[in-house]
Amino acid sequence: MAKHKVFISYDHSEDALYKRLLQAWDANDKFDFEFDSRGPDVAINSTEASVIQASLTKMMKSATHILVIVGAKSHESDWITWEIDRAKQSDTKLKLAAIKLEKANKTPPGLLNVGTAWATSFTLDRIIDALDDATNTY
């Protein structure tokens, strides 16, 4: 199977611990993770947003998948909403995968009813399974 190039979407202020864990797993030969380096305090409607969006779009266009880490506040994040919507546009069309950190966490609307592949737990094997099962047939 081809190597997955994965763009990670997560709440920078709430779920950075999980990003760091994924960075530790990044040595795995089944995938490469892409992380954006914007600060968590940059609002999507700020004057800096367009530069960040252009940078994120470039990273997404070089990826094959988007993996959304669904934390307690992810469904409220304008950035996560934008990243999911951007990932589904025809010039990007990333395969969708996600992992809920807690079962009760609310799913961001852009992941619903579009065939998102879900990891059943935050473990390397389950995340690889979700990436392997992910499609872009939304």
10-53 pLDDT per residue, tens:
998 889 889 888 877 877 666 677 665 554 466 777 887 888 88
* Burial readout 6-38 (b: 16 or more C-beta within 10 A, e: otherwise): bbbbbbbebbeebeeebeeeeeeeebebbbbeb
pLDDT of residue 100 exceeding 70: yes
Q: Give residue 130's pLDDT.
A: 95
- What percentage of the chain exceeds 70 in pLDDT? 88
Q: Give residue 78's pLDDT.
A: 93
In a domain, 83, yes or no: yes
Give the start-end residues of each E strand in the chain.
Answer: 4-9, 31-34, 65-70, 95-100, 117-119
In a domain, 42, yes or no: no
In a domain, 76, yes or no: yes
In a domain, 138, yes or no: no
In a domain, 68, yes or no: yes
Q: 129: domain CATH number?
A: 3.40.50.10140
Give the start-end residues of each E strand in 25-111.
Answer: 31-34, 65-70, 95-100
In a domain, 43, yes or no: no
What domain count does the chain have?
A: 1
pLDDT of residue 119 exceeding 60: yes
The residue range of the domain holding 57 is: 4-37+48-133
In a domain, 82, yes or no: yes
